[in-house]
Amino acid sequence: MLSKIAVTKTLEVRILFAVLVVILLLANFLIVAKERTLADGKLMLLELAPRDPRSILQGDYMVLRYRMAGQIAQHSSELSEDGYVVVTLDSNNVAAFKRIYISSTPLKDDENLLFYRKRNGVVKLATNAFFFQEQHGKYYSAARYGELRVSSGGDAVLTGLRDAKFQLLTPADSEDS
């Protein structure tokens, strides 16, 4: 009887260990993919719609809404829950919505993919929040663009906020001015 219990416990430990290894491998894969996007991704600026600064226990954050999301939402009948849109960049790297991506239509040289999610009828791009240290909200109040790094596959990582003159906003820059 004890040997069956010991075998069962050993098997449970092995299964638990295997599941833990799979979870850690998956987490590391996702981290490496994001790091690759940060290092090699194309710089893309998305114009912000009105922002909403809020306070939470661990610090402050700004709720981000992108103007382009509203433009994409106008095509809601064509949108799946998850998909890609085609954007072009101007000379300041500001992205402009061009069309919903259809895989049978090849991209032109000046076109890029950007991943979107549609949840409860709301289109979301990249992330919808920018976190910053407490008391630093005033430095980001001039934000007009979200700065993204976007992989060739359309996955985006928010890297900062920029003002109307396309300058990166940081507390250190604001303290000097």
For residue 71, the model assigns a pLDDT of: 93
Distances (CA, A) of 115 to 52, 86, 100: 23, 9, 10
DSSP H helices, the chain, are 2-40, 67-73, 137-140, 171-176
Distances (CA, A) of 12 to 1, 15, 22, 96: 17, 5, 15, 53
The answer to whether 133 and 170 have CB atoms below 8 angstroms apart is no
Give the closest residue to 68 by CA, choosing from 146, 130, 170, 5: 146
For residue 167, the model assigns a pLDDT of: 95
CA dist 10 and 13 (Å) reads 5
Domain ranges of the chain: 1-40, 42-176
Residue 78 DSSP label: G
pLDDT tens digits along 72-105 = 999 888 888 899 999 999 999 999 999 999 988 9
pTM: 0.75
Per-residue confidence in pLDDT tens, the chain, 177 aa: 557 777 688 888 889 989 999 999 898 887 877 777 677 888 899 999 866 555 554 557 788 899 999 999 998 888 888 999 999 999 999 999 999 999 889 999 999 999 999 988 889 998 888 888 877 878 888 889 999 999 988 999 999 999 999 999 988 755 544
The 10 Å Cβ neighbour count of residue 112 is 20
For residue 156, the model assigns a pLDDT of: 93
φ, ψ at 5 (rounded to 5°): -65, -40
For 154, the token pair is 């359309």
CA dist 169 and 38 (Å) reads 18
For residue 1, the model assigns a pLDDT of: 53
